[in-house]
Structure 1
Amino acid sequence: MARLMEIVVPTSLRERLAQGHPWVYRDHVPPHVRLPSGAWTIVRCGAWRGYALWDAEGSIALRIFSTRRLPDAAWLRERLTAAWNLREPLRTAGVTAYRWVFGEGDGLPGIVVDRYHTVAVIQAYSAGVLTLVDDVASMLLRVDPSVHSVALRTVAGSRSAADAGDEGDGDARLRPLHGELPPREIVVVEHGMRFAVALHTAQKTGLFLDQRENRRFVEDLAAGRTVLNCFAYTGGFSLYALRGGATRVISVDSGKGLAAATARNLALNGLDDGRHRFETADCFEVLEQYAAAGQRFDLVILDPPGFARRKENRYAAQRAYARLNALGMRCVTPGGLLATASCTTQVGPEAFREALAAAGALAERQLRIIHEAGQPLDHPVPAHFPEGRYLKFVVGRVEELV
């Protein structure tokens, strides 16, 4: 085996690296380093050392995989098996769609694997990590022989799994790595609810895996309530609200084909019983119209796409969240509930709560938080990698000012 290049980084990084943070940015790497993407290196920081994968482009130059040994087949199997075992409660509960590997959260920086029934879909978030996908695909089959198909979803432009959340990127495409290319549609199950997922859709699959438990939480709130679900996508929250006993549900999203996709999911679950209506429209505009007309709902759900990908855009994102949630609050009946989410990595939990407080001031309402959640167990967040915490989900009681 060829001798690995050793890269010495500033000692100012030692505490963070010792804690387990998996990234070294390019401006912390000596400028003379020239390696092809995918080359293994040894990183030294004082007495600390680790084994990292090099990327020739992008802001992250090094992704650290291990401090013990150079990753090999046995190491990879250990990591994938650990990730598999962590998801056992989901399989026991009959869930057939979940994130098998969540990149840095499972000790495999830049690698995501989503499981849809017997299909595994890999995403690699850099050119360096892309060199590992064939080995990952082979090892997935050894960890779980029931996998019939493994495909690669090519994704560009994200630093990590957390940056893309469960949305993916617009230029994503599938190519088979093992077995045949997955079918155009797969029906999966979560908590007894059936969803049709379209794995070949460029941007999204038809189901946000990270909102699974939050959808279920909404189900328990829905009995006897009227519900407005904005940014409904293919109706996930709406279906749970209907199953929970909502008297009326309106889903709103501007996306082409989403009304038909939602109708498909309603039919799969026998919920197309006249209590639901889909409006293909801009959610901000619909909320403004409802607020102006005095249209109120007992429960308003806001689950927008990310508002910022770069740190310098986080303040604009907070303002957007404040405006959106102010509109949402104005559409909630006094004493009703607002369920609101943020998948923007650059806006942390505290900043999101600040945006909700600002929204209350704009709407002349107060929001009393009764529930907060983050990501489910298949999207773990290591204590040493706070960047992995991207999802915020808040439920609050909306009250008029006194």
Structure 2
Amino acid sequence: MAKLATVQLPANLKDRLMQGHPWVYRNHLPPNLRLPSGDWVRVQCGNWKGFGLWDSQSPIAIRIFSRQEPPTPKWVREQVQSAWDLRSPLRNQGCTAYRWLFGEGDGLPGITVDLYDRFAVVQTYMESAEVLLKWLIDALQTTAPLEGIYLKTQHRLEINERDETENDRSDSQSNSRSDSKVKLIWGQPAPTPLIVEEHGLKFQVDLHAGQKTGLFLDHRENRKFVEGLSKGRTVLNCFAYTGAFSLYALRGGANHVTSVDIGKGLAEAASTNICLNGLDDRRHTFFTGDCFNFLNTAIEQGKQFDVIILDPPSFAKTKQNRHAAQRAYSKLNALALRCISPNGLLVSASCTSQISPEAFKEAIAAAGGTTGHQIQIIHEIGQPIDHPVPAQFPEGRYLKFVVGRVR
């Protein structure tokens, strides 16, 4: 390896680097420092030393990979194997779709890998990740019996917008902007559609369809929790996408489930998933339209539901949008509270990394204050085992999931 450039960092970053934080923002560097994307650099801060990957496009100029030496193919294989081992409980439970590699959470910053049966989907959040792709592809093949590997790329403008929040979901919700491209980079193409399984339920996914594969992997355990709440209840699933929460509610014995999403073709996809699992489609209604409008109309008509699920798209991509996102969550939850039956359940989620767990609960509390309701939190959780959050990297905690009884 050629001699590495050395980047000196301000002394006030030392404590954070010693803890293992993997990001160095460009505004912490000399403004005249220019290097090609994909260069490995030696990073020094006082007597602290590490090795990182330089990116010339992102606000995150350097991602730290190692304290000892620049990564090698063997080092990448070790990270991939470690991540694979961590997910063994999911395989033991028969889950065939999960996030195999969660970037910073698994020691490979800026890269995620989702597994759908025997097909892996690699997604990168930095231009410089290209230098790692060959090593990563080899490591994936060595670790698991794969049939194909896909690479998902996004328009550069979107990557730049997302860099500070790259731990939001890599899949956008159905009513969000999508400019993803997917290409097969190894092996054979996946069948269309591909059937995956989680907790005994089958789902269609489409790996060729850009961002929208058809399943949000981070809510797997939350869907199962909702199943246990649904017996004998009427359920409203807002931002339903292809109906994953709805399927669990139906299997859990809900009297009726209403799914709402604005996306085209999602009603058909949800119906297909229901039939695929032998569930009673007569207990399910899909409304194609805006969720805010649906809730407003339900309020006007006096409709009520025993359980309302809110899983909206990310409301903020940057810190500048944080306060607007907070208001949006309060507004959405307030609408839902006006439609919940007495002692009903509010199931509210946020995938916005710019909103902390405490701030999210404050938004829910504000909604209760607006509508005159009290919310008893009976369940709260973050991310599942395949989305680990390093203790030194709170930015990795993006998912919030709160269930409250409404009084």
Normalised to the residue count of structure 1, the TM-score between the two structures is 0.97
Q: What's the CA shift for 1:362?
A: 1.6
**What is the aligned counterpart of 1:313 among 309, 321, 324?**
321
**What is the aligned counterpart of 1:187 among 190, 195, 199?**
195
Distance 1:51 1:69 in 2: 6
Which deviates more, 357-366 or 187-196? 357-366
Distance 1:293 1:364 in 2: 19
Distance 2:170 2:232 in 1: 32
Give the match for residue 215 of structure 2. Answer: 207
Question: Does the CA contact (< 8 Å) of 2:171 and 2:211 recur in 1?
Answer: no
Q: What's the CA shift for 1:292?
A: 1.8
Q: Which amino acid aligns with 1:138?
A: D
Question: Does the CA contact (< 8 Å) of 1:368 and 1:396 recur in 2?
Answer: yes
| Runs of at least 5 residues in structure 2 that lack an aligned partner in the other structure | none
Q: What's the CA shift for 1:139?
A: 1.1
Distance 2:250 2:96 in 1: 21
Q: Which amino acid aligns with 1:140?
A: L
Give the match for residue 243 of structure 1. Answer: 251
**What is the aligned counterpart of 1:324 among 332, 335, 340?**
332
Give the match for residue 229 of structure 1. Answer: 237
Give the match for residue 115 of structure 1. Answer: 115
**What is the aligned counterpart of 1:167 among 169, 172, 180?**
172
Which deviates more, 105-114 or 131-140? 131-140
Q: Quick check: 1:57 aligned with 2:61? A: no
Q: Which amino acid aligns with 1:45?
A: C
Q: Which amino acid aligns with 2:104?
A: E
Q: Quick check: 1:335 aligned with 2:343? A: yes
Q: What's the CA shift for 1:204?
A: 1.6
Q: Which amino acid aligns with 2:356?
A: G
Distance 2:281 2:182 in 1: 36
What secondary structure, in the 3-state scheme, does the structure 2 residue paired with 1:133 have? helix
Q: What's the CA shift for 1:165?
A: 4.5
Give the match for residue 74 of structure 1. Answer: 74
State the Cα deviation string for residues 185-218 of structure 1 (Å, max 9, x = none).
2100000010001112222210000000000000
What secondary structure, in the 3-state scheme, does the structure 2 residue paired with 1:327 have? helix
Distance 2:181 2:255 in 1: 40
What secondary structure, in the 3-state scheme, does the structure 1 residue paired with 2:282 have? coil
Normalised to the residue count of structure 2, the TM-score between the two structures is 0.96
Q: 1:164 to 1:220 in 2, by over 3 A?
A: closer
Question: Does the CA contact (< 8 Å) of 1:165 and 1:343 recur in 2?
Answer: no
Distance 2:301 2:372 in 1: 17
Give the match for residue 375 of structure 2. Answer: 367
Q: Which amino acid aligns with 2:40?
A: W
Q: Quick check: 1:176 aligned with 2:184? A: yes
Give the match for residue 254 of structure 1. Answer: 262
State the Cα deviation string for residues 46-83 of structure 1 (Å, max 9, x = none).
00010000001120100000001210011111100000
Give the match for residue 288 of structure 2. Answer: 280
Distance 1:257 1:30 in 2: 50
Give the match for residue 150 of structure 1. Answer: 149
Distance 1:164 1:397 in 2: 27
Distance 2:130 2:395 in 1: 21
Q: What's the CA shift for 1:281?
A: 1.0
What secondary structure, in the 3-state scheme, does the structure 2 residue paired with 1:216 have? helix
Segments of 4+ moved more than 4 angstroms: none
Q: Which amino acid aligns with 2:168?
A: D
What secondary structure, in the 3-state scheme, does the structure 1 residue paired with 2:77 have? helix
Give the match for residue 135 of structure 2. Answer: 135
Q: Which amino acid aligns with 1:153?
A: K
Q: Which amino acid aligns with 1:47?
A: N
- Supply the RMSD in Å over aligned alpha carbons: 1.2
1:19-30 residue pairs with structure 2 within 5 A?
Answer: 19-30=19-30
Give the match for residue 100 of structure 1. Answer: 100
Question: Does the CA contact (< 8 Å) of 2:113 and 2:121 recur in 1?
Answer: yes
State the Cα deviation string for residues 84-104 of structure 1 (Å, max 9, x = none).
000000000000000000001
Q: What's the CA shift for 1:161?
A: 4.0
Q: Which amino acid aligns with 1:222?
A: S
Distance 1:183 1:132 in 2: 27
Which deviates more, 337-346 or 175-184? 175-184
Question: Does the CA contact (< 8 Å) of 1:326 and 1:362 recur in 2?
Answer: yes
Q: State the identity %.
A: 56
Distance 1:237 1:334 in 2: 22
State the Cα deviation string for residues 271-317 of structure 1 (Å, max 9, x = none).
14410010001100110111121111111111101101010111110
What secondary structure, in the 3-state scheme, does the structure 2 residue paired with 1:150 have? strand
